[in-house]
């Protein structure tokens, strides 16, 4: 079943399946008639990646997970990235955006940026998000920043002890 909608960019009428319309509505997405209108609305040109487009993935995931409670915008994400200078606040590793978000096998996955809620109980809002390394976000889960740093310290201590014991064993 299709319904007639009005494009948010060019204000033309177009037809779209009712199921797709309801999904976009549920996710809080604006309705466009074409990819061209989406690109123009985001300040870029179709076929070319603008600086903000790499943040679309994070925004869509945040809205999908928290629905209407997520008030974060593409501009907020871009400002947060600049504020952090693309550095993970936990590991101090320079982060990057994954080339293909779902295929991390061949990449240096510990450098892949992941959007983290500082307080897991709060929604995705400007004051509650930061970019961290993917493994840090997985390890942090719903723990506090302090607990995550403690975990990293324990791992570091164990690794250093293992290095010392390996050296002792190999030097005999």
Q: Which residues pair with 132 in a beta bridge?
A: 114
The domains of the chain are located at: 1-42, 51-141
Q: For 95-104, how does the pLDDT look when each residue is reduced to its tens digit (9 = 90+)?
A: 988 765 555 5
Residue 24: what pLDDT?
82
Residues 6+ apart with CB under 8 A from 44: 50, 52, 53
pLDDT, average across residues 116-131: 90
Write down the mean pLDDT value for the chain: 81
**Cα–Cα distance for residue pair 111/77, rounded to 1 Å:** 18
Please, what sign has the CA dihedral across residues 69, 74, 78, 81? positive
**Cα–Cα distance for residue pair 85/143, rounded to 1 Å:** 24
Q: At what angle do helices 56-66 and 74-84 cross, to 10 degrees?
A: 120
Weakest-pLDDT range from 20-34, 80-94, 135-149:
20-34
pLDDT, average across residues 130-157: 89
Residue 171: what pLDDT?
57
Q: For 36-70, how does the pLDDT look when each residue is reduced to its tens digit (9 = 90+)?
A: 888 776 655 444 455 557 888 888 778 777 666 77
Say how many C-beta atoms besides its own lie within 10 A of residue 124's C-beta: 23
In the chain, pLDDT over 90 holds for what percent of residues? 22
């Amino acid at each position: 079943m299709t319904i007639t909608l009005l494009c948010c960019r060019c204000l033309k009428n177009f037809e779209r399946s009712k199921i797709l319309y309801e999904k976009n509505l549920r996710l809080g997405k604006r309705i466009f008639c074409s990819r061209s209108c989406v690109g123009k609305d985001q300040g870029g040109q179709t076929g070319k990646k603008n600086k903000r487009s790499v943040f679309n993935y994070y925004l869509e995931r945040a809205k999908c997970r928290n629905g209407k409670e997520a008030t974060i915008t593409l501009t907020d994400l871009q400002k947060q990235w600049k504020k952090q200078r693309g550095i993970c606040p936990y590991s101090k590793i320079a982060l990057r955006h994954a080339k293909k978000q779902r295929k991390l096998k061949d990449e240096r996955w510990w450098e892949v940026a992941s959007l983290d809620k500082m307080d897991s109980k709060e929604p995705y809002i400007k004051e509650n998000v930061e970019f961290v390394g993917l493994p840090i976000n997985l390890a942090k889960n719903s723990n506090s920043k302090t607990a995550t740093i403690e975990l990293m310290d324990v791992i570091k201590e164990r690794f250093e002890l293992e290095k010392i014991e390996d050296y002792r064993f190999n030097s005999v």
